[in-house]
Amino acid sequence: MWDFSTDAAFQEKLDWAARFVRDECEPLDVLFPGNADPYDRDGEVFTEVIRPLQRRVREEGLWAAHLSPSLGGMGMGQVKLALLNEILGRSGWAPTVFGTQAPDSGNAEILAHYGTDEQRERYLEPLLDGRIVSTFAMTEPTGGADPGGFTCRAERDGDAWVINGEKWFASNYPLAAFVIAMVITNPDVPVHRGASMILIPARTPGMEMIRATGLAGEPLGEGVHSYLRFTGCRVPAENLLGEPGSGFRIAQTRLGGGRLHHAMRSIGQCRRALEMMTERIAARRTRGGPLADQQAVRHQLADTWIQIEQFRLQVLHAAWQVERADRTGDPDDARRARLHVSGVKVATPRILVDVAYRALHLHGALGVSNELPLARMWQSGPTLGVADGPTEAHQDVVARLLLADAVPAEDPLFGSEHLPARLEAARTKYAGRLKEMAVTS
């Protein structure tokens, strides 16, 4: 049965979250717009403002909803998470207030599955409680997100691993209590079997920040995305997470869900932009009449709403595919889920760029100014185009999965839909009927 409804009890939770984000979180985006503020757990903003809001979220039963109940979450499936993240995407502060801020959310899942008891007590518990933040270090300056270009190595030396190399765009590092880094532990096999995940506590000798990197518009030398260098950095052997060579499998457990969450949060941003467009069109006058009287403007508004709704359904369908794959354990279902998640990843930056640009352009000079959030929304599109794997890599995944099921046409020259050949086949199939019709007529 096809059903696009939400059960009443969960809809009440969503309604509460929507009101809470609008009333409590969105004002924080204006008061504290700095990218580092949500990660500074010792700052006055966090202790005096954010902590009380987090308690209210906990009381409502929506804290860290992506986690299983055993870890203090709600154990939501991907579809319900998508619906919640659609709301959280309206505010930069909302994920922190609701305990779903990346990269902490993904790192918590890694520690829950692969950490030792001591590591879970030292890092996972305070991470889930929101008392510390963490860093996920995967990309490198020489290879970007291409694992074939990774050079950061970890070599076993007795009861320790020794790490040498560099990592790029390692978010939160200046404030993080620990880093989870992907490193090459076996350079003699393909990288997908030779990379591992390793936990590195903050202030470990040999791990240094070359410089802080910010996003466009932030002052040079500031930002929460760090360029890291490891020089003879030693960590205990038990800090290897999972088995040697399992780094890519571990990474996919955190990145797949993250791609869906980013996509649905993008819907929240797009809907804010749509609201701003609608408000502008309804109120603005130009050339002696209402802006709403301009047919081209109305068409832009209509196209924007249609595009958002199409993308929203694509994301929800992908989330449903992931849920089904988790439930059945069928490799074919997992393959289909991967196809749909990669398709969503490709579409996410495009819709953000399209929608934010239309809204920005419609507001004229005000739209490109720092007095509206539209330019920052627009910038987040290209950012998501490179986050969690570049768009082109996921285009290739989609194409490869589609071609894996492709059946070449018997006629390689004209293909299976060539009308002359189909007409001849149809005449052959219905030759008897055609003969009878010719006789009777």
| Nearest residue to 405 (alpha-carbon basis) of 324, 320, 332, 329 | 332
What residue segments make up the domains of the chain, in order of their start?
Answer: 8-115, 134-241, 248-404
| CA dist., res. 171 & res. 383, Å (int) | 13
pLDDT recorded at residue 35: 66
- Residue 17 near residue 62, CB atoms below 8 Å: yes
By the 10 Å C-beta count (0-12 exposed, 13-18 middle, 19+ buried), 289 is classed as exposed
Cβ atoms within 10 Å, residue 283:
10
Per-residue pLDDT of the chain (441 residues; tens, 9 = 90+): 678 889 999 999 999 999 999 999 999 999 988 766 677 777 788 888 999 999 999 999 999 888 777 776 777 888 999 999 999 999 999 999 999 888 888 898 899 889 999 999 999 989 988 889 999 999 999 876 677 789 999 999 999 999 999 999 998 888 899 999 999 999 999 888 999 999 999 999 999 999 998 887 788 888 888 999 999 999 999 999 999 999 988 887 777 677 888 999 999 999 999 999 999 999 999 888 999 999 999 999 999 999 999 999 999 999 999 999 989 999 999 999 999 999 999 999 999 999 999 999 999 999 999 999 999 999 999 988 888 778 898 999 999 999 998 999 999 999 999 999 999 999 999 998 888 888 876
Quick one: which of 267, 254, 250, 263 has its CA closest to 309?
A: 267
Q: Which residues contact 43 (CB under 8 A, 6 or more apart)?
A: 37
Q: Give the sign of the dihedral formed by CA 11, CA 58, CA 176, CA 164.
A: negative
Residue 238 is predicted with a pLDDT of 95
CB 382 within 8 A of CB 338: no
Q: What is d(CA 385, CA 383) in angstroms, rounded to the nearest whole number?
A: 5
The 3-class secondary structure across the chain, one letter per residue, is: CCCCCCCHHHHHHHHHHHHHHHHHHHHHHHHCCCCCHHHCCCCHHHHHHHHHHHHHHHHCCCCCCCCCHHHCCCCCCHHHHHHHHHHHCCCCCHHHHCCCCCCHHHHHHHHHHHCCHHHHHHHHHHHHCCCCCEEEECCECCCECCHHHCCCEEEEECCEEEEEEEEEEEECHHHCCEEEEEEECCCCCCHHHHEEEEEEECCCCCEEEEEEECCCCCCCCCCCEEEEEEEEEEEEHHHEECCCCCHHHHHHHHHHHHHHHHHHHHHHHHHHHHHHHHHHHHHCEECCEEHHHCHHHHHHHHHHHHHHHHHHHHHHHHHHHHHHHHHHCCHHHHHHHHHHHHHHHHHHHHHHHHHHHHHHHHCCHHHHCCCCCHHHHHHHHHHHHHCCCCHHHHHHHHHHHHHHCCCCCCCCCCCCCCHHHHHHHHHHHCHHHHHHHHHHC
134-241 CATH fold: Butyryl-CoA Dehydrogenase, subunit A; domain 2 (2.40.110)
- Give the count of beta carbons closer than 10 Å to the beta carbon of residue 300: 17
- Rounded CA-CA distance 343/350 in Å is 12
* CATH code given to domain 8-115: 1.10.540.10
Partners of 211 in the β-ladder? 227
- Label residues 358-386 b or e (16+ Cβ within 10 Å = b): bbbebbeeebeeeebbbbbbbebbeebbe
9: Cβ contacts below 8 Å, ≥ 6 apart: none
Pairing state of beta strands 178-184 and 195-201?
antiparallel
**Residue whose tokens read 């950012």:** 383
pLDDT value of residue 97: 94
**pLDDT at position 90, please?**
95
According to the model, what pLDDT value does residue 144 have? 67
Structure tokens, 132:
């510390």
pLDDT at 385: 87
What topology is assigned to 248-404 in CATH?
A: Butyryl-CoA Dehydrogenase, subunit A; domain 3 (1.20.140)
Q: Cis link prior to 187 (omega < 30° from 0)?
A: no
- Taking alpha carbons only, the member of 353, 344, 408, 400 closest to residue 376 is 353
Q: Give residue for tokens 């006058």.
A: 285
